A and B are shown apart, each in its own frame.
Chain A
């Protein structure tokens, strides 16, 4: 059992959809006996296995919510489940042939399998062209999210 798991979702080869994975990579040095940092993948349902064994779960994924590119959205689960279900996530049901992020979290809630604290960061994406290049605004947002997650960790560790 770790105190906190940080899972970055997305596809590192599909433009801005990489951002969740890249946030996780930036936080890898941050992993400790109490904090585990994972690169999630394209399938939301695997998240159900990955989210086991922690009190606090922090998720990062690209999102398409018609906001300005690079906008950082923060959601608390399960309170915001309905709202996240309306957005198109990088890890979405239709883009990955899989159970999407919103469906996986809803299922975990239904089965009472959610960790005590779950926070989801969505970063508004610009392009999903194949390749490694992030939109400048998304790249900037990535740094913002990394900093916010450090603050989250402090607040939970002192809770």
Chain B
């Protein structure tokens, strides 16, 4: 192994391989020549590719349950994008009460996903722990608070989804059943506690040190007419673009890269960012008054230009999600029917919703008999992947003087701050280096 400082003309390949495991692998390979970063390749295993093929030939009524198994963290997001893509084909109009319940369900998922990332994945980086497990040994009460917050989100999903991890009661046209008023009201006390705890969480993470370089992101998010986006709205960017979701595939191109099962998605040929930083940048005016008030106290200005500040954006969104859940529960009147009638017919439908990690696009082509002819799924991580690689390309020159372990830790931390679907796995990266002279 040569020291890159004393032997700068060598080509140095930094590889971070993940632990061998069941479902494929992800890894980061960095090639350096003459002290310059030449290539950065982030390899991610991405389940949607398998499911696109698996969905072909399945009946549309099976779709919500199948797509809920694509991701263990965001089953609701996949269900929401799927039913919103399919319903227009069948001329289904979702009544306001059912629409509100779907929003409530989505609040539960944002809470679960974000709280997991804040408490168990990103906070340990700021506090100097190698993992959430290590942090739990020293700060058990802190982790217990995070788990209680997560559980409050979990309870919303359990109530509306039937089963907590893979909700099965979402269906085309609505829900297979809806909760009574009393059942929703019963959650109120815990949600009030959780909203207070979310305020404290935001105040806590706002005190962290954010040291990664600022950058000028191209942000992409949904933006509806009147509410912070979850299920509706055209796509907007901070560069003035305004696109209907039906135009998504004209402007966003996926390309296969040889080193990854994930497709890289670019916007008009460039990298861009979707997720909490983008939503905050483009929709902060639509946060609830209470959330805005607490956020104003942090003194931060928008947009956030550092990836590490995702933890602040996620904490704001957790607070908002609890506030929004309480608002929906307060005014809830059960709809007369849990779903509206659906008449299956052939056609093509698209939708995008805001998964915890960002824009999740679905397109389905349905046959006369209700089977799926084509399914296309573009998850947030493949959209952000190129941005992550760009960042690493820019940041790596500052890490080259470090040894392998330190350089790997810096890369992992930066990747993790984006909360890609592999973020947990980056705790298990194995670092190796090859020298080619």
Binding site for B on A (CB under 8 A): 11-14, 17, 38-43, 45-46, 48-50, 62, 64, 88-100, 103, 106-107, 110-111, 125, 128, 130-131
Min Cβ gap A9→B in Å is: 9
Residues in B115-170 with C-beta less than 8 Å from chain A: 116, 120, 132-133, 136-137, 140, 143-144, 147, 150-151, 154, 163-166
Q: Quick one: closest A residue to B23, CB to CB?
A: A95
Closest 6 pairs (CB-CB, A-B): A41-B165, A42-B72, A95-B23, A94-B425, A43-B72, A96-B72
> With a CB–CB cut-off of 8 A, which chain A residues contact B66?
13
B294 interface contact, C-beta 8 A: no
B340 interface contact, C-beta 8 A: no
B26 interface contact, C-beta 8 A: yes
Min Cβ gap B119→A in Å is: 10
Task: Establish whether residues A111 and B143, one from each chain, have CB atoms under 8 Å apart when the complex forms.
Answer: yes
Q: Quick one: closest A residue to B66, CB to CB?
A: A13
Given A42-B165, A92-B23, A99-B116, 20 new contacts (CB under 8 A): A12-B69, A13-B69, A40-B165, A41-B166, A45-B116, A46-B112, A46-B154, A94-B21, A94-B23, A95-B22, A95-B45, A96-B72, A97-B425, A98-B116, A107-B133, A107-B143, A111-B136, A111-B144, A128-B22, A130-B53
Task: Establish whether residues A99 and B69, one from each chain, have CB atoms under 8 Å apart when the complex forms.
Answer: no
Q: Quick one: closest B residue to A18, CB to CB?
A: B69
CA distance A99 to B144 in the complex (A): 15
15 contacts between A and B (CB under 8 A): A13-B69, A39-B166, A41-B75, A41-B163, A43-B165, A46-B164, A49-B154, A49-B164, A90-B22, A94-B18, A95-B21, A95-B23, A98-B424, A99-B120, A111-B136
> With a CB–CB cut-off of 8 A, which chain A residues contact B140?
110-111
Residue B72 contacts which of A62, A97, A103 (CB distance < 8 angstroms)? A97
> With a CB–CB cut-off of 8 A, which chain B residues contact A107?
132-133, 136, 143
Residues in B83-134 with C-beta less than 8 Å from chain A: 112, 116, 120, 132-133
Task: Establish whether residues A94 and B73, one from each chain, have CB atoms under 8 Å apart when the complex forms.
Answer: no
Number of A-B contacts (CB under 8 A): 119
Min Cβ gap A126→B in Å is: 11
CA distance A48 to B133 in the complex (A): 13
A97 in contact with B422 given A45-B150, A107-B133, A111-B144 (CB within 8 Å): yes
Task: Establish whether residues A130 and B19, one from each chain, have CB atoms under 8 Å apart when the complex forms.
Answer: no
B204 interface contact, C-beta 8 A: no
> With a CB–CB cut-off of 8 A, which chain B residues contact A128?
22-23
CA distance A49 to B20 in the complex (A): 28
Task: Establish whether residues B71 and A92, one from each chain, have CB atoms under 8 Å apart when the complex forms.
Answer: no
Residue B22 contacts which of A49, A50, A88 (CB distance < 8 angstroms)? A88
CA distance A110 to B112 in the complex (A): 21
CA distance A23 to B71 in the complex (A): 21
Min Cβ gap B422→A in Å is: 6
B51 interface contact, C-beta 8 A: yes
> With a CB–CB cut-off of 8 A, which chain A residues contact B50?
14, 130
CA distance A14 to B163 in the complex (A): 19
Task: Establish whether residues B23 and A130, one from each chain, have CB atoms under 8 Å apart when the complex forms.
Answer: no
CA distance A41 to B133 in the complex (A): 21
Q: Quick one: closest A residue to B58, CB to CB?
A: A13
B378 interface contact, C-beta 8 A: no
CA distance A42 to B23 in the complex (A): 12
Task: Establish whether residues A97 and B73, one from each chain, have CB atoms under 8 Å apart when the complex forms.
Answer: yes
B290 interface contact, C-beta 8 A: no
A50 in contact with B164 given A13-B54, A98-B72, A110-B140 (CB within 8 Å): yes
